[in-house]
Structure 1
Amino acid sequence: MLRRPPAPHISLHAVRDTTVTAVQSLPAVLLGTLLNILDGVSYGMIIFPAAGVFAGLGGTGVSMFFVSAIISQLIYSAGGSGFAGANGSMMIEVVPFFHILANSIAEDIGEDDPRAILATTILAFAFSSALTGLTFFILGALRLGSLIGFFPRHILVGCIGGVGVFLVITGFTVSIGMAEDDFDFSLVTLKYVFLTAQNVLLWAPALALAVILRVITHKWEYQLIFPMYFLAVPVIFYIVVISAHIDLSILRDKGWLFDMGTSHEPWYHFYTLYDFRAVRWDVFWGTLPTQLALLFFNILHPPLNVPALAVSLDHDVDTNKELVAHGYSNLLAGVLGTVPNYLVYVNTLLFYRVGGTTRVSGFMLAAATVVLLVIGTGPIAYIPVMVVGALIFVLGIDLVKEALWDTRHRVSWMEYITIASIMICMTVWDFVIGVIFGIVVSCVFFVVQSSQRKSIRTLHTGETVMSTVRRPGAHRAYLREVSKQTTIVRLQGFLFFGTITHVEETIRTLVEGPSWHRNPIRFLILDLTLVAGVDMSAAEAFVRIQRLLASKRVMLVFCGFSLESNVGRSLRNVDLLEMEGVELFATFNDALEWTENVYLRTWFSSQKTETRAVVLPGRQVSSLAFEEAVAATPRNMELIEAGWRTIARDHSPPDADVADAPEPYNTLVKVFSAYGRVDRDEFAPLTGYLERVCPAEGTVLWQQGDDPDGFYIVEAGVLRATYQFGEHTRPTQESMVPGTLAGELSALSGLPRNATCIVERQAIVWKLSIANLRRLEEEEPKLAREFTRLVLKAAKLDYDTLIAALATRQ
């Protein structure tokens, strides 16, 4: 016989714990209920405009407020939110957009068809909830919540300030019972509102209550002041009324109490306004621009409120999870025909501080709000208008203060102008226009601010930096003199029409006027390593620069990007990199190395010297612009004069006594003659300690970190050392050509190798091993000291060059 499975057992312990939690949550639930009443009466009453076909819908708006609050509260408390005591409520900042929707629909349909106006309007409200929910859900599900952070904060602040001004104006209109549409900034209206004694008596108490509250909260920050204050005001009001024996009907006629008429509609009355047959669909779809502006404004709040609340409560939450919860609550609100909602920062913070830290307290708050909903809107007729007006004034003043006062020392003057201009546009014209205007102004200011940033990071000549190629002393001396004909411009940031103008003007001054006559240049190196991108205007500016340089026979050398990068594609799109007289290198060092090679080959070509005897590293070019007959130009004359002062000495015919000297003596002369006299007889014994080695291309002479086995004197070929200084830094490369040393410092110091050295081109090197070096020091101490002195001199200059290259590297 089969037995039934046992029913789930609820222990007395669990019931007791839940009961204790519920009792402990009562203060928080009472506070949350009071806040919902205050918000519902204040902002639910103004969901619909108070004029025309929308007159008398204040109670309907309150019911819609409570339905939306209940939906969001249940979603958050059921586990949708990471905050156990999250408070959900209607998104009150959308009220101005609702008024725009309602008024535009009424204007398009006409006052003679109120049924169609109400049906279309309330459907538009519900559609805004569904659209908001769908957007929140997509952002959260795709984990794109962080994208909202890329939106300029000051635009949102300006929008918030605009809402604040709207609420301040609404505070005046609600207090005096004036239709919002009737308010404008004409002299007649301003006199009616601010100079009519009866109206002043109505709005002045509400404004005074708001100001007094903010004075109190400025001095005392006790969290219960706000709800206790607005509980006390109605009590005091009715004490005065009862003491003076004033008839409530008289107060209602004079505008001190809300006139709800004789209607006693149930909370679900707003569903009777839905009539899909009466909806004007052409007008409904015509509201999409406003709907999108409303959506744009809606989606900015939760990604900002949630992290702020997490910091205030010291509670880690997943912003994307909160967005999904907002998606569910707003989609459900749209399906159930009510207005958008969100997690309320201030209410949740107060709720937590009073003990509402559990999901039980959240469900209790939802139940209390249901009770408020079922009771209906009848009690609203007994709420003093000044209380609602004061609540609206308080929020409006807070938002205006947040936008204008709190930001005065926190934003730039451009951002402050943007905030103020958005508020003005929203107030004078329209909320949608204000948002669009703010975006446009921000874009303009962004262009202006970006244009003021320096796109030229540094500008200097080639005299201040050399490539990391170890060259003979005579070659280095020659390059130091002629490299002033190389100008280096290092750019940064994004190059666009606002920044490229300064770059173009700067380059133009280099090749025109006094600067050109004082120092004519041969190469212009543009280092784009720190450039994020190039727009079409900047790319075309580079084309103009190239044409200008070509007219002066100046070669344009780009470096710091690849052909497939964003910068490379932008420059290829204007065919710049295919133009004659334009070169591209991956790194700045490669570009500098190439220009130095060109200078050297130009000198040797002009002297009819066999250039193949001069081994140069890096990119090999069969035909160079400077391998031509040297004309009598200032640039060429400088090269000739510098060559005769430097290289010519090293390559002059040897004396008779050294013409027949075997290697490695000639190599020793090439390496050390720039640092001191290399006497043949004195250095003759050194040959016995050197070992001739002919490593093939690709041979690894040593790895970084290896113990040193000696150092090398390069007679022929090219060696390349690679320095890896850090795990996340790009390697630095150094070439060694004939007439230079390799591995000397680690060999002399006995410390591990600081680089990896390979043979780039088949080489002939003379190796002085550690054992032979020790033997030289013992057997020929005087020669060893002189030889070591020359080695250290050469090493010092080599490492000075390497350090300078590292210092100028980005």
Structure 2
Amino acid sequence: MFIMSALTSQIPMTLGGSRFPGGVGAMLIEILPFLRGVAIDIRGALGDDHPGLVPTVMAAYALSSILTGVAFLLLGLLKIGSLVAYFPQTVLTGAVGAIGLSLFVLGLGLPLSPSATPLALSNVASTLFYKGHLGILAASFFPALILAVTLRSRYVELWTRGFSRSPYYVPVCMFTVLCVFWIVVRSLKIRHEHLITAGWLFAVHPATSSSALVASWNYWALFNFKLVEWWAFKSAIQNLVLSVVIGVLNLPIYVPTIAFTLDMSYDMDHELLGQGVGNIFAGLVGTIPNIIQYSYSVYVTRAKGGRFELAITIALSIALFFTAGLLLPYVPTILASVFVLFIGIELFLEAMWEASKTLTWMEYGVVVSTLVACTFLGFAQGFGVGIGAATFVYFMYGVIDSPARVTRWNEWNELQQTKNQDEDHVSAPLEGRLLLPRNHTPAAITLNVPQTSAVLSTDVKTVADPDLLQKLNARVLVLSGYIFFASVPSLERALLSSSDSVAFFILDLERAHRIETAAARGLLRCVRDLQLKNSVLVVCGVRQLSGLQADFARAEVPLVFDPASAGTEKGVPAFVTREACLVWCQKESDRRMALADKVEGVDTETMNGAFETFCQLFDFELDAVLNAEGLGMLPAVGPTTTQMTGFIEAGGHITTYLPGQNIQCVGIAFVVEGELHRISAAPTADTGVIRPSVQRLFTVLPRETLRALRNRFPALARGEAPRVRVFKPGNVLDSRSNMDRVVAKTGSSVVDIRGGKLIAWAQATLDGQTQTD
């Protein structure tokens, strides 16, 4: 019935019932206690010896699937799914960690022998660590731990030539565990019965005849509608309703979490309809409810699995449905345990460790509280606790950000000037709503430049133009107050749902004072999707060293306050004033028009020369490096235009810089020509408004402590000066985590390896130079 439930879920999903190509469905595990309650209630009503007991229970299970499917269909048809977008991302992250923790506990209990006491908090020590179980525990836990560590280790990636990043790495490791187990068993000549008794193999009733084989999968023989006592359903109505409610509550948790983890867009109404069809299908074939699975869907998608691969999985599952009784006796329990433990460790680390890199300590507290509540109270109750904690955090941030602050004269003067311009040019109050095409009439905006704006130039006409936004093909959106997760759905709709091609989306944050980490990270998805449409997101109203800018930095949103020199490829253009933003948009629009008139390939000869020098300086052979990934698509005849094109497609970037320009690299950079100076950033004074992430808080704590000591005892700071390191052709620098400024002292050419198939080779070259230095 479990396998059939997975099939009835997977078939509709693979045929288009889910927008996730790698979505995997299976039985809804969370309702097992309620299904058990249904059986107990019906047994209490009919008695143990009633001939209709089993048929009535089977009919009740099928009815629960049909009711769950009908509930999903109604919610999808009523378009209720859009409300799910307002769930806090911090709560979803905590739910992911709880799923990982529950899977970890499940993995620990899988190898326990049938006669062992079920695993619980009260008997962990006596059940897991008694002498007879230590071997199984070690054989399950350590392979899973090693697998999780090797997936994250850069040294293992180099040693395996990138194979640890391959979609086949996890399956190969699991197959290795299976082979090692049976090699050891055969070499020690351990009897099959002893392995079952000790818990190394699953206990399966042997199929000694064809009738027994049929009985192992033919659960339909348990149905007999003539014996069903329909009146007994009245005694189980409470557990039936709870099973439906739990299913309805779990789907809004899983779907946004899958989309958040995989960084994909989703349509909740579509998923509701697909899951409704799958559950009604399950009820019609007499099995139990099902739902899309978070962990399986994430790992199938990361292993490059899609609808074709899942169609093959459906065929294999059908074969397994008939042969499970024959295959399961040869599957070691540690194989299942290793896989479940590995997924649990990965999900837990993804929720707890990755979240600590971007969330503040209060937001991180929401994650932890949701995880703990989901673990000890249940997912539905834990979700409610998480939402309550998130509401408390937003209330606290409102209190923290509300006190009056002392402002410098020039900053106050600029703010007042912007406010006056807003009152002159906006005919309706903007607080609390987005400016959409249907309700926004662009007013006359002057480009008179304040004297304090250093980013503006005098070569742009500064006359009032009421049609400026139409000429720029720009759309303005205004957000105010504290921006949190509830602002994301409307913002995404305004940015991404438009069928018109918009060149510039101007996000005005002049009235916003802070932004939540999850909301800021939501802008990254919008920026990525807008790039596919050749649109640019521009931010105005953000001041450097402000709390709002610190929130963006913590969320890893790269705001570029000097886009004229850095370019839009390096991040999101940001401006203090609206006028500076419009001037840049006008210049960028003119630049695009000029580029469109140019002949493509003007700098091909220069780039070819830089690529050839790069290959000579660093002994780079494109064919050899790509062969390490199994490609080998280019002949190793020497650097050619074709090879340079393949190099760029594989993740390489060739850039030339003029003297004085800042080097904008985001990966491992190879100096090909010229001279670069890396200048260590001088410590900056604490602005008092930055909310560091949890991980950064512990990282900067020693440095901030040392800075406080130096301020208290000035003698400790003597001799401290910015360090300058010179890079010449043949040198390599790592700019992925380095915050120092790198400047081109002469005309320079730099090759930047940002990822893809070349990162392993680049890292090995960097490590070699580091050891030499």
TM-score under structure 2 length normalisation? 0.45
TM-score under structure 1 length normalisation? 0.43
Bigger RCO of structures 1 and 2 (CA < 8 A, at least 6 apart): 2
Structure of greater Rg: 1
